[in-house]
Amino acid sequence: MSIFEILGQRLIIGLGTLLFVSVLVFLGTEILPGDVAHAILGQGATPELVEQVRERLGLNEPLHVRYFVWLTNFVSGDFGTSLANGADIGTEIGRRASNTILLALSTALISVPLAVALGLMAAVKPGGMVDRTITSASLALISFPDFLVAVVLVTIFAIKLRWLPAIASIRPSYELLDWVRILILPVTALSFTILAHMVRMTRSAVLNVLASPAIEMAILKGVPRKRLLLRHALPNALGPIINVVALNLAYLISGVVVIETLFNFPGLGRYMVEAVTNRDVPIVQTCAMIFCSFYVVLNMSADILSILANPRVRYKK
């Protein structure tokens, strides 16, 4: 099977998954309790006024018609307007998405290299002091949810020590140092939540490669341990490492919802939570589709990159 056939298959699967997700997102917002027209006008609105709003929003159309209209508009980039204040959703998402991307990218730039380095350190001497320390710490981190890590960090560094701000508010006048102070606690909380899985997978993948006959022969020939890890073991372990990194980055995109809400960070996650509170359905649908699209694209990218890193997967047995 050629690489283009594999890429075509993965692309078709990814598009099919996004289509299925769009159905779930639309139906999920449709079954929310309450009525959108009443949420806009209030419970004291007259039936005639409610009917006018329903007609204006197209809520009286059949379900499948509303779905295809919404999906067509979303694909074309027309996200509609907010039901709460009439603001253009696309403009607001563009402003907030840059903040979310900054938060996620900062976390990835710190956590991914650190996870690979710690995984390699743990794999140098399996069962040694360094290995046991890193393994125990990663197991402990896996047990803690992200909101608990964030609360502990805020309690220590914002409330007790007063070194860092507890609220990640943003102002146009902020300079680079202000941005760094604001991002330290959210980025640290997100890094802790995804670091442990990547460390353990890196360690496991490298140890599996080190147990192969080719690596054992290199050890017998006297190849230095550092060169063995960086030049031989790590490149051959890239497939599973790329997979777990992409999966954790996909989780990172959705995990920012909790962190942004806790730190009052003006990103897409907080925007969606506010929309759920106000029952602003167009915003909820748009944000949910953006998060799901990122998740599917990252998983598909991980699958493709693992195939490129391991050519043996391209051929059927």
Question: What letter represents residue 32's amino acid?
Answer: L
313 vs 36 pLDDT, higher one: 36
For the chain, where are the alpha helices, taking DSSP H only? 3-30, 36-41, 47-57, 63-75, 89-124, 129-143, 146-153, 176-210, 213-220, 225-227, 234-236, 238-263, 268-278, 281-309
138-179 pLDDT, tens digit per residue, is 888 888 888 888 889 999 999 998 899 888 877 777 788 888
Domain count, the chain: 2
**Is 81 within a domain?**
no
**Is 125 within a domain?**
yes
pLDDT at 157: 92
C-alpha dist (Å) from residue 105 to 111, 165, 172, 220 = 10, 20, 20, 42
Compute the Cα dihedral for 88, 39, 280, 63 and give only its sign: negative
pLDDT at 9: 83
95 and 175 together in one domain: yes
CA distance 136 to 158: 27
Backbone phi, psi, residue 266, to 5°: -80, 70
**Angle of CA points 227, 230, 231, to nearest 5°:** 70
pLDDT at 310: 63
**Is 314 within a domain?**
no
50 and 137 together in one domain: no
**Is 160 within a domain?**
yes
3-62 pLDDT, tens digit per residue, is 777 778 888 888 898 899 899 988 888 777 666 676 667 666 777 887 787 787 777 788
C-alpha dist (Å) from residue 221 to 177, 189, 209, 214 = 51, 44, 17, 11
157 and 250 together in one domain: yes
pLDDT at 233: 78
pLDDT at 313: 58
183 and 39 together in one domain: no
241 and 154 together in one domain: yes
Among 75, 104, 129, the domain boundary falls at 75
Where residue 64 falls among pLDDT bands split at 50, 70, 90? confident
Q: What is the mean pLDDT of residues 62-78?
A: 88
**Is 313 within a domain?**
no
**Is 80 within a domain?**
no
Residue 51 belongs to domain spanning: 3-75
pTM of the model: 0.82
**Is 134 within a domain?**
yes
